[in-house]
Amino acid sequence: MKYIDRLHAAIDRCQSSAMVGLDPRLDHLPEPFREQASGSTGDAAKALIGFHRALIDILAGKIAVIKPQSAFFEQLGARGFAAMADACSYAKEKGLLVLMDAKRGDIGSTSEAYADTFLGGGYQNAFPKCDALTVNPYLGLDACEPFLEYAQKHNAGLYFLVKTSNPGAVSFQNHGTPPLSEVIAAQVAEWSSGDMGEKGWSNIGAVVGATRANELGSFRELMPNTPLLLPGFGFQGGTADGLSCAFDHNNHGAVVNSSRGILWAHERPDLEHLTGWEDKTAFAVSEMIEQLSLACKK
C-alpha cells in the first residue's frame, strides 16, 4: 500500500489530521527525564529513549503520524541517532506512521544515500524504514530524482519544501516572478501526478507553513492533488483558522504539525491543575485535535 493510502487509513482510524513533531530539547524535557539527561551523552540518549517511548504511548490511537526532527537527535552523535532509531521503531510498533523531518537534498549520489538511509533502511537495514521524508529541492531536479525513485520503490512519501513556516522564508522563497516558491510548487504538482494513491491524492507532498493560511488557498490551487505538511501550529503562531482549503470532504489532503506545543505542555501555567507531565501532554494533544476538528471541516 502506498504511503498516502496508509496515512489516510490511519487518519480515518484516529479521526484527526494532527501530527506531533519529536524535537527533543534536553532542557525542556519533563522530569525525571530532564535530570537524567543532565549527565553524560549516554545518559541523555537514554533519557530520550525513555521519554519518547512514554510519549508515543500517549499519542498512539490519538494521532496518525509522528515527525522526528533529526537535528535534535544528531546533537548527541551516534547515541542520539540510535535514540532516534528507537523512537521510529517503537512508533511503528504502536501503529504510528513516521515522517522523518531531515530536509535532505544534495547532488545525485549523496541524495541517493540519504534516500536509502531514511526510506530504504540503509546498509543491511541499519535504520528503520520511515514512511515519509522531508526533502529540500533547491539544488535542482537531479538532486530530487533519487528521492523520487526510492519513494516509488518503497511506497514511501516525500514532502518537498515549498513555503516554509519561518519568517525569513520570504527572503528567497518570494524572489522572482513568479515567486520561487510557486515555481517549486508547479514542479511538485507535476511530480505528484505521476505517483497517485487510490483516492485521488499523491504520494508526493509539499511543505507549506500553517503560519501562512492566507497563502494556502493559492498553493492548493497550484497543487490540487498534493498532500500538504502544515508545520508551525501552536507555538509558532499557526492556528486552525484558514486551513480548511487544504482538506477534501473526507478531511484528507494534509497533516498539521505541532511540536513544542505538545512537547512543552508540562510547562504551561494554565495546566497546573493537572498532575504529571503525561496528563498535561494528553490534554494538549486532545486540545489540538479538537481545534482542528472544529476549524478544518468544510
Contact assessment for residue 169 and residue 163, using Cβ atoms and an 8 Å cutoff: yes
The residue to which cell 516525500 is assigned: 158
Q: What is the CA radius of gyration of the chain?
A: 18
**Can you read off the three cell numbers belonging to residue 163?**
513555503
Residue 163 annotated among the catalytic residues of the structure: no
Among the listed residues 62, 92, 103, 153, the single catalytic one is 103
Using CA atoms, how far residue 33 sits from 39, 50, 228, in Å, is: 11, 8, 33
**What secondary structure does DSSP assign to 9-52, as a single string?**
HHHHHHT--EEEEE---GGGPPTTHHHHHTS-HHHHHHHHHHHH
Q: Tell how far CA 54 is from the center of its chain.
A: 19
Quote the DSSP letter at residue 179: T
Q: Name the residue among 48, 135, 74, 125 with its Cα closest to residue 99.
A: 135
Q: How many residues does the structure list for the chain?
A: 298
Q: Which amino acid is at 269?
A: P
Whether 49 and 85 have beta carbons less than 8 Å apart is answered as no
Which residue has cell 494513491? Answer: 197
Mapped onto helix, strand or coil, the DSSP state of residue 71 is helix
The rounded distance, in Å, linking the Cα atoms of 20 and 22 is 7
Q: In whole angstroms, how far apart are CA 89 and each of 67, 83, 101, 267?
A: 13, 10, 15, 28
Active site amino acids: 103
